[in-house]
Amino acid sequence: MIRAFTTATLEHFLNVIDIWTKEPQYIIPPVLRGEIISDETFSNSSNNLRRIIYRKLIPKQPKRDKVVLQKISFYNFEHKKEYLVTYEPISMSDKEIEPSDLPFYYPKLKQFSHSYISIQNTKVVEDENNFKLTEKEKSKLDDVLKESVLPNIAELVFNAVPFEGLEIELESDRFKVIWGKLLTTFLKFLKNPNYEKRVIHDIIVPKINYQDRYYILKEKYSHWIEKWPESTDPKKHVFEDVAIATFLILMWEEEGQRNGVEKKQSFVDVGCGNGFLTYILTNEGYFGKGIDISKRKLWDMFDIEVALEERIINPREEKYEGFDWIIGNHPDELTLWIPIFAAKTGYNIKFIIIPCCFHKLSGEKFTESDPHYINHIDMHIKNAGYTSEHEFLRMPSTKNLAIISRKRIFSVTEKEIERDILENIEKMQSITSLNRLQDVHHGTLFAIAEHIHFFTEVDIGI
């Protein structure tokens, strides 16, 4: 048994239990997610039982690690001012669960529990060595506690019940370290009871759908890691592109269902680089193409026909008629041009930008901090007549914000608004002077700014 004192309230304690029940991956990294199978509450049970949850722990590596079915029981012993939550692994067959049924990520324990025992004014504090206070000291402490300005004092107790014959487990250093860390993490969560996920995930694409499809696609495409011909990190590129493709495919499937359209979406990937994202989407049945200034080795290795164009995108002239979506994954100098390409193409085309390095419309580097740049992209999108939605993609990269523009800010019949937007774009293009220079060292062409006339909100405001 290990324990700590806390000033957190019972509500805080139950809040952390709730977060850990729903999101077990926060404390058990090999777990992908928890799936709640049933959740039953009892208002008047004789044994102080208040709630039972059955949940499944789904591992990240389903081929290697087993799923664990777990029973979580909540007890409220009001007379002892104790709230107890117990966790037991449950056998998925008729026979009783055994330690060998449990995967490595799950402790070899028959049961473990977390409890919250309110001690203010009710119980005398004793330290871990069972140090006893004298009666006089107890009454003094009671007086202090009565006058205490602290809202609460409670004991947080973590207990474990070993399997028969495995009592030694509890004495191991490993167990003590893990349990100590768990208690510290619990205290951290208690200090921040209003803990919420800081980033916006799973708004457009539900987490479960995403995770399930991601693992299927990851399996299908990870063999490219071994034969990656580029000097870039293969794992990073393969996993990131699989993650982006997963998100796009699920968003597009939902879009198709919502609109009752069976035909799959088409796309143009601008600044497609190694073309791997274009390849995955093509292989998954989406018609589209990738464009980049310079061809990469990978382009010649794809086992299917992938439409990849080696050419410079002239920002002023680009339009993508006949395509449904423009994709800009880390599109550098083209980032702010994508809303313009879309607006000039027509009313129905949509786009997604995953920004990375910050560039002005002129191509010059933008020096402001991230949030400012994101606001700037959003303003630019609005000026092109689109709304923007943000979603942090579930992928191993810090540059994982996706800006999705799939709705216009005017209706298809409001032709005057569209005309004003296009006029503003024309005006903006004419004062943003771009010059094309040949880079003799690399033999490639880059669009760079001759004069920097950066456009402000006022210039193209609508």
Ligand X SMILES: C[S@@+](CC[C@H](N)C(=O)[O-])C[C@H]1O[C@@H](n2cnc3c(N)ncnc32)[C@H](O)[C@@H]1O
Binding stretches for ligand X (CB under 6 A): 271-274, 291-294, 312-313, 329-334, 356, 447
Whole-number minimum distance, CB 383 to ligand X, in Å? Answer: 21
Whole-number minimum distance, CB 315 to ligand X, in Å? Answer: 7
Query: Among residues 34 and 273, whose Cβ is nearest to ligand X?
Result: 273
**How many Å apart are CA 244 and CA 271, to the nearest integer?**
15
Query: Among residues 117 and 245, whose Cβ is nearest to ligand X?
Result: 245
Query: Among residues 59 and 271, whose Cβ is nearest to ligand X?
Result: 271
Whole-number minimum distance, CB 430 to ligand X, in Å? Answer: 19
Query: Among residues 409 and 434, whose Cβ is nearest to ligand X?
Result: 434
Whole-number minimum distance, CB 402 to ligand X, in Å? Answer: 12
Kindly state the tokens that stand for 459: 């210039």
Whole-number minimum distance, CB 199 to ligand X, in Å? Answer: 20
Query: Among residues 291 and 308, whose Cβ is nearest to ligand X?
Result: 291
Query: Among residues 16 and 244, whose Cβ is nearest to ligand X?
Result: 244
Whole-number minimum distance, CB 310 to ligand X, in Å? Answer: 9
Whole-number minimum distance, CB 331 to ligand X, in Å? Answer: 6
Query: Among residues 226 and 317, whose Cβ is nearest to ligand X?
Result: 317
Kindly state the tokens that stand for 129: 């060595």
